[in-house]
């Protein structure tokens, strides 16, 4: 039931982390706030709430100390603290993809079932501020300046469109080469820069980087299905590999640089991904309700001694 709030439910389940100790000298930094983090490097957050169906965590976003996740199965947008505490939720009709909007505490959520993008403000409690109707059923979404980059995974006519704040399609991403199909299934999109759009395409088992005008910058064959894709502040790309249960870090030229999440974390069918302020978040395919958060600096430092970059390849 869109727009209807359930009373905030505090995470008191025994299998969720306890709240961290309070600091009298003021808020703790992310590095200090490690009481609930395993070895100070990562944490598993349980996204399911009492009396819910199994989760389907199709989108995830980090906003400050908050983790925002789309639970498509239970039709909710959920907010957690990055230490694992559940904070609040709001019901939506069909929450699917999510992205942070620039220079704000707002997020945009695709709702393909009702051809809509919903914008929520997270200054305090989650508030639905406005929605815009779309002509197509978009699943994936990213923000580019004052536009949305949205992907539709319709089998007959998959597309990536650039739309304005009124939902009007400004132009579509198409190859300049009429014989070349850029993508088959744009399951996840993000912006590497204003001139480079990244597409995770499990339909063709590839990650594609293209300009808004349709020039292909690179295409990385992933030897299996890629899923969530995101870019950090330095321009490094993080790609979840659905079939191998690994998250790779790529250069901004599409070359494999290292492994960010390997098999030691027992990640299962990674689905959505986001990165912000040195923290990487990955959801898992249904029926899992788990979200993995990784402190990238600490993890990559520890893994640097056991990863051979010269022989690194998809597994």
Q: In this predicted model, what pLDDT tens digit does every residue of 41-95 receive, in sequence order?
A: 999 999 999 999 999 999 999 999 999 999 999 999 999 999 999 999 999 999 9
Q: In this predicted model, what pLDDT tens digit does every residue of 185-198 receive, in sequence order?
A: 999 999 999 899 99
Residue with token string 């939506």: 92
Residue 117 — very low, low, confident or very high, per pLDDT cuts 50/70/90? very high
| Residue 268 exposure: Cα atoms within 13 Å on the Cβ side | 8
187 CB neighbour count, 10 Å cutoff? 26
120 CB neighbour count, 10 Å cutoff? 23
pLDDT given for residue 76 in this prediction: 97
Q: What is the pTM of this model?
A: 0.85
Domains and CATH numbers, the chain: 42-311 (2.120.10.30)
Q: In this predicted model, what pLDDT tens digit does every residue of 133-173 receive, in sequence order?
A: 999 999 999 999 999 999 999 988 999 999 999 999 999 99
Write the CA distances from 280 to 75, 160, 277, integer angstroms: 24, 25, 9
Write the CA distances from 31 to 28, 208, 266, 278, 296, integer angstroms: 8, 34, 24, 10, 12
């Amino acid at each position: 039931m869109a727009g209807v709030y359930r009373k905030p439910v505090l995470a008191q389940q025994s299998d969720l982390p306890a709240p961290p100790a309070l600091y009298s000298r003021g808020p703790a930094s992310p590095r200090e706030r490690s009481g609930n983090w395993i070895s100070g490097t990562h944490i598993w957050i349980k996204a399911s709430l009492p009396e819910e169906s199994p989760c389907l965590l199709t989108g995830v976003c980090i906003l400050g100390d908050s983790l925002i996740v789309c639970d498509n199965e239970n039709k909710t947008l959920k907010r957690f603290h990055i230490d694992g505490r559940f904070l609040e939720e709001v019901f939506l009709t069909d929450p699917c993809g999510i992205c942070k909007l620039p220079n704000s505490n707002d997020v945009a959520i695709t709702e393909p079932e009702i051809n809509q993008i919903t914008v929520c403000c997270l200054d305090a409690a989650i508030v639905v501020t406005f929605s815009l109707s779309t002509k197509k059923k978009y699943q994936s979404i990213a923000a580019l300046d004052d536009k949305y980059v949205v992907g539709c995974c319709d089998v007959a006519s998959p597309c990536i469109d650039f739309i304005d704040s009124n939902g009007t399609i400004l132009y579509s991403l198409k190859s300049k080469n009429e014989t070349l199909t850029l993508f088959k299934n744009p399951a996840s999109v993000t912006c590497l820069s204003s001139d480079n759009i990244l597409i995770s395409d499990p339909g063709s088992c590839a990650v594609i980087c293209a300009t808004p005008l349709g020039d292909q910058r690179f295409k990385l064959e992933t030897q299996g299905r890629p899923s969530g894709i995101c870019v950090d502040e330095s321009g490094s790309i993080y790609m979840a590999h659905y079939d191998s249960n690994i998250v790779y870090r790529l250069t901004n030229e599409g070359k494999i640089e290292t492994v960010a999440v390997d098999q030691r974390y027992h990640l299962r069918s990674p689905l959505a991904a986001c990165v912000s302020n040195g923290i990487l978040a990955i959801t898992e395919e249904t029926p899992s309700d788990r979200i993995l958060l990784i402190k990238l600096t600490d993890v990559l430092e520890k893994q640097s001694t056991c990863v051979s970059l010269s022989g690194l390849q998809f597994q």
